[in-house]
Amino acid sequence: MCDVQQKHVVRAPSVRRLHGMITTKLLHRIRSNDPTLCTLRMCPELITSPGMLDALLRNSTIRSVVFVNVTAKTVSEASFAKFLACLYHLPLYSLLAGGNLRLPAHYMRHLLELVEYSCGVGKACKWSSEEIKATDVKGAASAADEVVHEATNSSTDDLKPMAKLEFVDLSGSHIIDSHAMWLGKMIFHPRSSLRHVDLSECRLGTVGLRSLLLEELTLNSRLTAEVAANTQLEVLDIRWNGITEDFGLQVFLDSLEMNATCTICIQAHGNYISSELYRRLVDREASVLPIIEAKRQRRRQTRRTEAEELGRQHQQEKEEEQQQQQQQQQEEEEVASSCSGALGLLLSVAVDSPSSLPCLCLLASLLPTQE
C-alpha cells in the first residue's frame, strides 16, 4: 500500500467573519483615538454594530463622517438617531449624507439637529430617559428661532464651543419647506461655521427656495449686514431643485452684490430661471471662485501642518511609552537578578549545613534547578 499524503487546505474566512474582524479592528482604532483615522465611512452594518456607540463616545479625533447605503429600509429611525447622538462631541469638519441616500424628511430632522449644533448655532441633543423606547426618541427642539430673534439675550452655554463644521452634503434628500427654513436660519447666522452646503436635487421648489433664502414675514434676504460681515459661507449649491421663478434668487443676489466683501457663490443651474438672472449668477461665480479656492488652499495647508504636528506628538508619546516599558523591564530584571544572587547564597549555605537550616533545604528542593 502506498501512503496518501493529505494536503492541508487553508480556507478563506467567511464574509461574516471577515466583516467581524474588520469591525473589531475599526472599533479599536476609534476607541484608541488613532490620529490616522480622520474619516469614518458608515454603512448600515457599522451603525448597528455592537460596541460602535460606546467606541464613538470615547473618540475625539474623527473629523468627517460619510454615510453609505443608509436608507429607511436598511437602518431604523431610532438606530439612526442614536448613532447621530454619539457624534455631537466630535470636532466634525464635514458631514456627507447625500448622493444616493435620499433620506426621508423624518430622518432629516435628526441630521439637521446635528448640523445645527456642530456649526455652532443650536443646542445639543437631549434624551428624555435612558430607558426610553426606541419609537420615542426625541431630539432637542430647534434653537434657530431663539438664536436668530434673541441673539443679544440668548445664552451660549448650550452651544458647541469651537464649532468647526464646514461642509454639509444633503444632496438628493427630501428637504420640506420647514426644514428649508430651518436650514436658512442656521446657514445665514453670524455664528455659523458652515462654508459649503450642497442642497442640489432636494426638491426645494420655488416655495422651498424662498424659505431658505428669505425671511418668512418680510421676504427680505437673510443676508443682513451683520450676517454679511461675519458669515463663513462660500458656496451654496441649489442646482436642479425645480425653481420656477426669479424672485427669491433675485432678492438674495441683490443683497450679495450690495456687500462687496461677501464672497458667497450660488450655484443654481438646472432650474427654470430667466437667462438674465442666470447670467448674473454665472458672472458672480466666475469672479468669486478663484478667491474661494485660494482660501481653501490656505486652510488645507494649515490642516496638513496640524495633522503632521499631531502625528509627531503621537509618535513621540509612543516612543516615550516604549522607553518607559523598557526601563521598567530592565529594573525588574535587575531586581530579579539581585534576588536570585541572595537566594543562591542562602541555598549554598543550606547545602553545607542541612541539619542546621532545614527550611532552606526544603526551599532548595522546591525550586527548579537552573542550568
* Type of residue at 355: S
Whether 123 shows a pLDDT value over 50: the answer reads yes
Distance set, CA 324 to CA 81, 316, 327, 337 (Å): 43, 12, 5, 20
> Would you say 195 and 156 are in contact if contact means Cβ atoms under 8 Å apart?
no
CA–CA distance, 49 with 123 (Å, rounded to integer)? 27
pLDDT of residue 50: 87
Task: Please give the sequence-ordered ranges of beta strands (E in DSSP) within the chain, or none if there are none.
Answer: 39-42, 64-67, 94-96, 167-169, 196-198, 235-237, 265-267
DSSP 90: S
Q: pLDDT tens across 155-214, in order? A: 566 788 889 999 999 999 989 999 999 999 999 999 999 999 999 999 999 999 999 999
pLDDT of residue 359: 60
CA 102 to chain centroid, in Å, comes to 20
pLDDT of residue 166: 96
Residue pointed to by grid coordinates 448613532: 83
CA–CA distance, 195 with 231 (Å, rounded to integer)? 8
CA–CA distance, 229 with 215 (Å, rounded to integer)? 18
pLDDT of residue 345: 59
Q: 4-18, 244-258, 302-316 — which one is most confidently predicted on average?
A: 244-258
**What does pLDDT average to over the chain?**
82
pLDDT of residue 311: 76
In angstroms and rounded to an integer, the radius of gyration of the C-alpha atoms of the chain is 31
Confidence band (pLDDT; 50, 70, 90) for 143? very low
pLDDT of residue 341: 60
pLDDT of residue 322: 86
Number of other residues whose CB lies within 10 A of the CB of residue 126: 12
**Average of pLDDT values for 223-228?**
93
Residue-by-residue DSSP string for 164-175: ---EEE-TTS--
Q: pLDDT tens across 57-84, in order? A: 999 999 999 999 998 899 999 999 999 9
Whether 130 shows a pLDDT value over 50: the answer reads no
If we measure between CA atoms, which residue out of 92, 41, 30 comes closest to residue 66? 41
If we measure between CA atoms, which residue out of 345, 349, 339, 343 comes closest to residue 366? 343
Q: Which pairing describes strands 265-267 and 235-237: parallel, antiparallel, or unpaired?
A: parallel
Residue pointed to by grid coordinates 455592537: 50
Q: What is the dihedral of CA 217, 160, 179, 127, to 10 degrees?
A: -120
pLDDT of residue 364: 57
CA–CA distance, 252 with 220 (Å, rounded to integer)? 8
Q: Which pairing describes strands 39-42 and 64-67: parallel, antiparallel, or unpaired?
A: parallel
> Would you say 213 and 249 are in contact if contact means Cβ atoms under 8 Å apart?
yes
Determine the CATH number of domain 36-127+135-145+167-312: 3.80.10.10
Number of other residues whose CB lies within 10 A of the CB of residue 99: 17
- At residue 75, φ and ψ (nearest 5 deg) are -135, 130
Confidence band (pLDDT; 50, 70, 90) for 339? low
Confidence band (pLDDT; 50, 70, 90) for 234? very high
Share of the chain above pLDDT 70, in %: 76
Confidence band (pLDDT; 50, 70, 90) for 9? very low
Selected residue with higher pLDDT from 307 and 210: 210
Quick one: which H or E segment has residue 328?
Answer: helix 275-352
Number of other residues whose CB lies within 10 A of the CB of residue 159: 19
pLDDT of residue 323: 87
Whether 346 shows a pLDDT value over 90: the answer reads no
CA–CA distance, 123 with 276 (Å, rounded to integer)? 41
Share of the chain above pLDDT 90, in %: 55
Selected residue with higher pLDDT from 185 and 371: 185
Q: Positive or negative, the Cα torsion across 237, 238, 240, 246?
A: negative
Whether 28 shows a pLDDT value over 70: the answer reads yes
